Structures are given as structure tokens and as C-alpha cells.
Structure 1
Amino acid sequence: MILEAQPEDIDEVYSLWRILLDHHQGHHQVFRYKAGSEQALKSELLTRIKEKNTRVFVYQHNDEWVGMLMASLRASSAGFKLAHKGYIAETVLKEAFRGSGIGKELFEAARKWLIDQGADHIELQVSVHNHAGIRFWESLGFSPSTHHLVLTLK
């Protein structure tokens, strides 16, 4: 069953987000978090849950939270043909539920909400080392539009 996470769900949402964060620790420095940063990370996540133009969709299976997908609407310049960007972030499923169709269900819930909000396209980023994630998003029709590069300055 798909639900929209509420502020009081922070602990459950955070435990799903940690699965995603932990999965990406070896991918690149931009994904690494500091030891002892649980409160700061929860605060960031809570801010996102409360944002007016953001929804955190979660999948509950037999009272267990097994997946989540965060979607937001972001305005672009009115000068572009695609000026109402839907953005998907923080998508994760517990390993035992991957390949079950739940990810697609979460995406469809987010896609419907974004369309209802006026989005004319959806963007996302996926780690270049997350080959399963890339295949998943491509299977839903996503294709590359840019090559996101990072330069660490420290």
C-alpha cells in the first residue's frame, strides 16, 4: 500500500533513507555522511517532508515500511518549453523487495501527483555506479540529458 509520509513518520522514513545512503557510500564522496550526524540528517529529511511542493511516497507491506520515493515540483524559467519540472530523489527499496514491482508503483504514484501539480517533465539523478538503478529508470522511459560532473575542492 502506498502512503504519503507525514512528519510523525520521520523515524521510519529515516531508516529507509539510511539504506539508500549506506548503499551509496562507496560510489562517490558526495554521498558520504559524517559519523554522528543522525540528528542533522533527520532534520534535513523532516524539512523535505514538510515542503509544500514535495511528497514522500512510502510503500507499506504488512505494516513494514519497505520503500520510498521523494518527488517535488520545481519551477524552471518560463522561457523554456519544459518549464514545470518534476524531480524524483531519494528512491529506495529494501533489498528483499527489489524487482517486485513496488518501485514502479511508487514511481506511478509520484508521476500522477506531479502531473496533477502541473509538471511537464520529470528529472532525476542516479549514481553512475548504481547500474541496477540506471536500468530501472531506463525501463520506465528515462534517458540521459546531461552528464553531471563533480569536483571536490577540499
Structure 2
Amino acid sequence: MKRNLPSISVSVKLHIVIKSPLDSLYRSDYNYDMITIREAREDELLKAGELWSDFMRFNGRFDNSFAIKEKAKDIFSKEMLEKFPANDYRLAVADDGGKLVGFCFSYISRKPKYFKIQRFGFIGDLYVTPTHRRQGVGKDLVKDAMNFFAKHRVSQIELLVAVKNDTAIKFWESYGFNQLLTWMYKRI
């Protein structure tokens, strides 16, 4: 859903997120006064857990390997609380007037010592509620993650996508991500 909004100057656009390689992808037709991308507060971790549970149910449409326990949102929230706040983890949220409508969980990880690339950024989860999709919210959450990774000076970012989620694959490819591996499984 496009919104007809007045023009926004570049200086206003940049007040939300530190300049990043994605600035050229910035949407000028999006109302940034309504949705703010920011780090989650400790008191919002349970709500972030609810969004994460919605995300896993969404992924469950592609494969039942994403099935979650009844109290999964509480477990997720507890894990986030254990990491909160941490310099090498970031849980960004999309706040629409006090209502969380999306999140992105990013962190710095390490590869085994025999690889040239040691430290890398990892986007663990990105989710936007169905009512807020295709409005630039996901893009801004990605920009936030990119800024987090730039601050930590990583040279590579990795993530996982459900192989049957063509929409998500196209989304990530639009940001220059390439397929690296195919993660396979077998039930026994």
C-alpha cells in the first residue's frame, strides 16, 4: 500500500539510521514519522518473543521443522534477556506508535580458525507483521542491521532462508545476498 506523503529532505531521512551502503535504496514515499526502527527495550522482549513465534508459525507453512513448543515465545524472550544488552548482539524493533510490528535479530559470530574470514555478521531472524509488509519496514530493519555490522567492521554477512520461501529469497537477493549453501536434513 503506497502512501502519498510530502517530500522528505535527505537530512530528515538520515536522522533515523546512520549512513550505510543501503542509503541508495531509501524509499522517499514512506512515512517514517509513524514507524521507528530502534533497539528493543528490556520490557519489550516478551512482545518480541510473540513476534518471533508468529515468524516461526509463518515458516511452518514451508516445513514442519519450524514447529515450536507451546512456551517458545517465553524461551526466546529469556534467551534475548540473557544477551541483553550485549555489544555483539542487536535486537532491533519496528515501533508503530507504541506497537511492535517487526524485528531483526543480528549478531557477530566467528568461523573456525582455518577460514580467512574469522568474524562475520549473522542475521538470525527478520520478521514484519503481515499488515506492515511491503511498506519499507523490512528494508529499514535490514539497514539497521547493516549499520550494526558496519560498526563492528565485519566483511561478510550471512543468514538462513527457508528454501521454499521464494518471497524471502528474492527479498534478500535484492540486497545483494547470494546463495552459499543448501542446508539439508533427514528425519530418522
- Considering the TM-score relative to the shorter chain, is it more than 0.5? yes
Answer whether contact 1:83 1:120 (CA < 8 A) is retained: no
Report what 2:111 is aligned to: 76
- 3-state SS of 1:151 partner: coil
> What TM-score, normalized to structure 1?
0.88
Cα deviation 1:15-53 (Å, max 9, x = unaligned): 211220110123223311123544334323433444442
Q: What is the one-letter code of the residue matched to 1:92? A: Y
Report what 1:131 is aligned to: 166
Task: Answer yes or no: is 1:2 the counterpart of 2:29.
Answer: no
Report what 1:35 is aligned to: 70
Q: CA 1:151/1:12 → structure 2, altered by over 3 Å: closer, same or farther?
A: same
Q: What is the one-letter code of the residue matched to 2:180? A: S
Task: Answer yes or no: is 1:145 the counterpart of 2:165.
Answer: no
**Distance in 2, Cα, partners of 1:9 & 1:34:** 21
Report what 1:117 is aligned to: 152
**Distance in 2, Cα, partners of 1:109 & 1:79:** 30
Report what 1:96 is aligned to: 131
User: Where do 5+ consecutive residues of structure 1 fail to align?
Assistant: none
Structure label with greater radius of gyration: 2
Q: What is the aligned-residue identity percentage?
A: 24
| Aligned-residue CA RMSD (Å) | 1.8
The match for 2:101 among 66, 78, 81 is 66
Cα deviation 1:58-114 (Å, max 9, x = unaligned): 111122211100100002245433222100011100111111111111111111111
Q: CA 1:113/1:49 → structure 2, altered by over 3 Å: closer, same or farther?
A: same
**Distance in 1, Cα, partners of 2:83 & 2:171:** 24
Answer whether contact 1:2 1:58 (CA < 8 A) is retained: yes
**Distance in 2, Cα, partners of 1:91 & 1:100:** 15
Q: What is the one-letter code of the residue matched to 1:147? A: T
Q: CA 1:7/1:151 → structure 2, altered by over 3 Å: closer, same or farther?
A: farther
> What TM-score, normalized to structure 2?
0.74
Alignment of 1:12-27 (within 5 A): 12-27=47-62
